[in-house]
Amino acid sequence: MKLRITTVLTALIVLAAITATASAPASEQQAAVSTAGGVITVKGTDAQSTPALKLAIGAYVIGRTAGEGFMSISVKDKADNIVHTAILNEAKGSYLLPVDDTVAKQGDLVFEIMGTGAWTVTIAKPDPATAVSLPQNMTGPEMTDAVSKPFKAAAGKLAVSYAYKAKPKGAGSLIILEVATGLSLDTGFIYAGRESGSLEVVIPAAGVYIAQTGFPLASGGGEVKLGR
């Protein structure tokens, strides 16, 4: 069984049209779930799980606010297989979850969330109608992640450049997902120890996409630019 593991660290909430459904009665271990404006909001304390949430195929932005810094989020399918795990080191932040019918399949998914004290998690699919044009910049301090706005891209090569404030001790990261399908693109690598560089990502078809980047240790933070 394949498993996606994401190490992510900061915050952003994007709206979308998704629904939450409970497959079992609420229990003491289940967090409170509500849906408004296309966003699923989960509120809990310490270690709690959601009832089954019905997610359609596509890319999702997972946002969180925690009383303490550390949080982990594991996503399980209806067969109780873990299909995605995120280890979160900052009290606020966001990251991308692909539901692409390969590892994480559309349908009922349970979120198992571990934190310290009270926390809030939001689950939202970006609205393609809000997509912006390129270029687009993502900025942040070291050891954090930034999620872009959804953006429109034509088929072909997408130029990506990155510049950190100092020579990093690790590698940066880049994820680009197609919003409609959750398809993860081959982005190549941001190599460890490089302060700046560029790469090209092949966009398979014109559409709306969304990106996430991670700023590595000792980089001092920096900027990743999508498009020229």
Residues 171-194: pLDDT tens digits?
A: 999 999 999 999 999 998 898 999
Domain end point (choices 90, 124, 158): 124
Distance CA 120, CA 125 (A): 17
Residues 79-138: pLDDT tens digits?
A: 999 999 998 888 889 999 999 988 888 899 999 999 989 999 999 999 999 999 999 999
Strand bridging mode 58-66 / 107-124: antiparallel
Task: Record the pTM.
Answer: 0.85
CB within 8 Å of 22: residues ≥ 6 apart: 33, 51, 52
Distance CA 226, CA 200 (A): 10
Give the CATH number of the domain where residue 61 resides.
2.60.120
Q: Are residues 135 and 106 in the same domain?
A: no
State which amino acid sits at residue 159: A
Domain hosting residue 79, numbered range: 4-124
CB within 8 Å of 108: residues ≥ 6 apart: 21, 23, 52, 53, 54, 77, 78
Give the CATH number of the domain where residue 186 resides.
2.60.120.380
Distance CA 124, CA 155 (A): 26
